[in-house]
Structure 1
Amino acid sequence: MNSVSLTTRISLLFAVSAAVVLLALGWIVARAVDAHFVEMDRHELDGKLALVQNLLARMQPSNTLAALHDRLDDALVGHHGLAVALIDARGDVGYASAHGLPQGMPLHPAPLTTWMAQERTWRGFATTVQAGDASFTVAVALDITHHQRFLTRFHAVLGGATVLAMLAMAAAGWAATRTGLRPLEHMARLATRLSATDLSERLPDTALPAEIRTLATAFNAMLGRLEDAFRRLSEFSSDLAHELRTPVSNLMTQTQVALARERGAAEYREVLQSSMEEYERLARMVEDMLFLAKADNRQVVPRRDAVDLGREIRELIEFHGLVAEERGVHLRLEGSAHVAGDRLMLRRAVSNLLSNAIRHCPDAETVRIGLSSGDQDVELVVENPGTIPHDRLARVFDRFYTGDPARRSGAEGVGLGLAIVRSIVEAHGGRIDAATANGMVRFTVSLPRSGTA
């Protein structure tokens, strides 16, 4: 059944449902018509029985059944297809209709019954009637062959109409299903045209049924996410190639220059030291990329230790102090807080924030680090003088993004620091935001105190 198309399945469902309903309706109609004819025949037979009873009631005691013969013939004249018989107490038939009695007609008290005789269909009954002191059995029967022929034709027409209605319902179900599934066919054709280089097409979400509209909206949203993901992947690949090209080119140039002529040990040592710096830069970049790749695949699982953020930040201020002092930048810590998390990962995140703030802080200015604790969260704020255009705020956490003044490129970084900060914060179940206002750039980190993601 899995290979049968949805259109065929729904069409069959329409046909089966229609068959069940129409067959049930046809059976009800047929039974109602049959019952109507039975009731009509019973009413006519009861009328003839009443006529016979009336004649018997007016019969004088001295009269015999033979005396009623002429009266009964006169009363039943013109009633073709009607058979009447009077049977006395001895079982003798005292009266029979002029055209005779059908074979199989009950001559003893019997309920309404139907039988066949001489290729004709009869319906009748027999009952006991009192006439003075005498008791008689009156048997009446009606030829219903014409009724049966009508019912046979009616049943045939009803059956044919039922079959035609079933076929019509199946065709209507097929047409309705094909029309309803047309947007899905359009969706399938669109999916075959999609590629990594062109994800701009979208399904029209107007004039669609509610169910298909929901699917189309979800499909378009998925295409939007894929388009954004491929765009970011393309930018990332381009940035990665660019960042790797610089140190590799430096290494090749230094090596070519060193090999251009014979040099002394001191010169070779200088070349090797310079190459070592480039290797270290490459190693840091690869390490950072591996960390971000693990974070993207939820493979970074932080520990849940009690961490004194105030103490860790004071140690980091001391570590970055020499670099800050060279430019006259002052680092100021306000507040304290404790959080449950991975101490080394949190130190790395805070260190990246401080390094970024020091690098982009004007000379002789102050970088403020603020800590505060709430009922559920701990907030860390790193703030330095500067500005970031509002259209670039959303990209400051992108990998290799160094396109705004707050993250100008330099030898100290390649644009991965803030991306690593965001990955660490999100791994701890927190969030990080960047904002700029009143000539200040602020990074705000919120972490759950319990450390649950």
Structure 2
Amino acid sequence: MTPTRGPSLTLRLTLLFALASAFVLFLLGLLIGNSVERHFEEQDMEVLNGKMQLAKHILERNPGSQPKETLTQRLDDALTGHHGLIVAVFHQNGETLYANESMAFPQDLLAPRSTPRNERPVKWTSNDGLPWRGISSMVKLGADGGDNLTVAIATDITHHEHFMSSFRGTLWVFMALATLAMGLLGWFVVRRGLLPLQAIKLRAAEITANHLHTRLPVESIPLELADLADTLNGMLSRLEESFQRLSDFSSDLAHELRTPVSNLLTQTQVTLSKARSADDYREILESNAEEFERLSRTISDMLFLAKADHNQIVPNQEPIDLAEEIGDLLEYYDVLAEEKAIALSLSGSGQIVGDRLMLRRAVSNLLSNALRHTPNGGVVTVQINETDDGMTHIAVENTGSEIPAEHLPRLFDRFYRVDSSRQRTTESSGLGLAITRSIVLAHGGGVDVCSANGLTCFTLSLPTSSLR
């Protein structure tokens, strides 16, 4: 079943770019539309306030005894030439004293108030469908404080509304086309911006098991992708190194197993070629048993390392006196050291918490390795040292030929061979140092090796845990 892929990065970035552009254009359209609407409102308010002041001036200076017809005539004369403008005067009892045209004013406009409605005019649509904008104010009739009157003034804003409707339609069409154009431009920009990723893709496609040395061109890609390319190159370097070690390990493992299997097969074929005595069969079986033991040790060591690679080694936690444990190991290797006239010595002391059997195996591997490569009459010393940083160091040093510096980093690899002068013997499976490193790492420590001035020193660093 083919896995479902998400939308492409180009599509997602293009949509985000278009949405961002549409949002900005929408806000800009609202701002422009409101600004134009506000401008028309201010123009209308200027006309309405002017007429309101004129009407108030006429009403306040009108003598209370003057006939209604005279007041009407004066208001008509003041409003001559102003088309689309309606002025109405209402008595406090609701009676219409004056209206130049018939108009049903909204109730909220005629609500009693002592000051002109200048803050915001009232906007409404009349019964014939025409839009209006108006204001109202209370005024005293006559200079001697007559009746309270309400003056309402409204202006026809049909022209303004038509203009705003056309303007908004044009503005929204422009915004839609601009959004589409910005989306297309964003698609083009994203496609151009992602070209370095295509270059990385093509270069990565060239990397195979036979071309792990290929690296991504960091210098020719943008700064934002440089860290990604560096990370990928680092990963390729680790893969190349691991692949090379795996290839060497597979080759060494095949060679290591081929020798005992070949010996067993050859001896068995020779034995079966003719009838032999019981003593001959017993001798051959004893020889085969030695080969089987060697195979068994190799397989057991490989299983141990496989568990270590998957963090399946869980050391026991018990107090260990290092001087006592290493002293017992030196007594065990004393016979081998006497055969080669090698001097063994131990100095220092320390206590840690860990797995006794595992740590004995780790130190035993170092001692066995040191005795194997120390010439006759040489010296092997073990030093135990506790430091202030909470670590305990076990250094196993031996005299003899030095190990070239280029081989030191790989000494703890499985089946790694330095040269013929340090070749593994038939008693060694070639996994001792690798097992030692796995044990120390399982205890939270580390290993180190140095070789100079006729001395080779392996150092185990273990955390000094407090005893409980």
Length-normalised TM-score, structure 2: 0.83
What is the SS of the residue equivalent to 2:341? coil
Percent pairwise identity: 47
User: Is residue 143 of structure 2 the alignment partner of residue 132 of structure 1?
Assistant: yes
Question: 1:445 and 1:109, CA in 2 relative to 1: closer, same or farther beyond 3 A?
Answer: closer
Q: Aligned to 1:394, what secondary structure does the other structure show?
A: helix
Q: Is 1:383 matched with 2:397?
A: yes
Q: Within 5 A, what are the aligned runs for 1:277-288?
A: 277-288=290-301
Aligned equivalents of 1:260, 1:89: Cα separation in 2? 139
Q: Is the 8 A contact 2:84 2:156 kept in 1?
A: yes
Is 2:306 the counterpart of 1:303?
no
CA deviations 1:339-371 (Å, max 9, x no partner) are 222222222212211111111111111111222
Residue pairs, 1:284-433, within 5 angstroms:
284-375=297-388, 376-385=390-399, 386-404=401-419, 407-433=422-448
2:136 and 2:398 map into 1 onto residues whose CA distance is 115
**Alpha-carbon separation, structure 1, partners of 2:92 and 2:334:** 136
How many equivalent residue pairs? 448
Aligned residue runs from structure 1 range 244-259, under 5 A:
244-259=257-272
Where do residues 197-212 of structure 1 align in structure 2 (5 Å cutoff)? Answer: 197-206=210-219, 212=225
Alignment of 1:42-121 (within 5 A): 42-56=45-59, 64=67, 66-67=69-70, 75-85=78-88, 91=95, 96=100, 101=101, 103-104=103-104, 109=110, 112-113=121-122, 114-116=124-126, 118=128, 120-121=130-131
Residues 218 and 230, structure 2, Cα contact 8 Å, conserved in 1? yes
Distance (Å, rounded) in 2 between the aligned partners of 1:157 and 1:188: 45
Distance in structure 1 (CA, Å) of the matches to 2:271 and 2:92: 145
Tell me the residue number matched to 1:146. 159
What is the CA RMSD across the aligned residues, in angstroms?
3.3
Q: Deviations over 1:146-183 (max 9, x none)?
A: 11111111221222233234334444554455455555
- Give, as a single letter, the amino acid of the residue that structure 2 aligns with 1:359: R
Question: Which moved further from structure 2: 342-351 or 209-218?
Answer: 209-218
CA contact (8 A) 1:66 1:95 kept: no
One of 250, 264, 271 as aligned partner of 2:277:
264
Q: 2:62 aligned with 1:30, yes or no?
A: no
Aligned residue type for 1:42: M
In 2, Cα distance between equivalents of 1:286 and 1:88: 115
Distance 1:200 1:266, change over 3 A: same
Per mean C-alpha deviation after superposition, the further-off stretch among 4-13 and 370-379 is 4-13
8 Å CA contact 1:387–1:406 kept in 2: the answer is: no
Conservation of the 8 A alpha-carbon contact between 1:65 and 1:95? no
Map 1:221-240; keep pairs closer than 5 Å. 221-240=234-253
Cα offset, 1:238, TM superposition? 0.5
Is this contact kept in 2: 1:387–1:405, CA < 8 A? no
Higher mean C-alpha displacement, 410-419 vs 176-185: 176-185
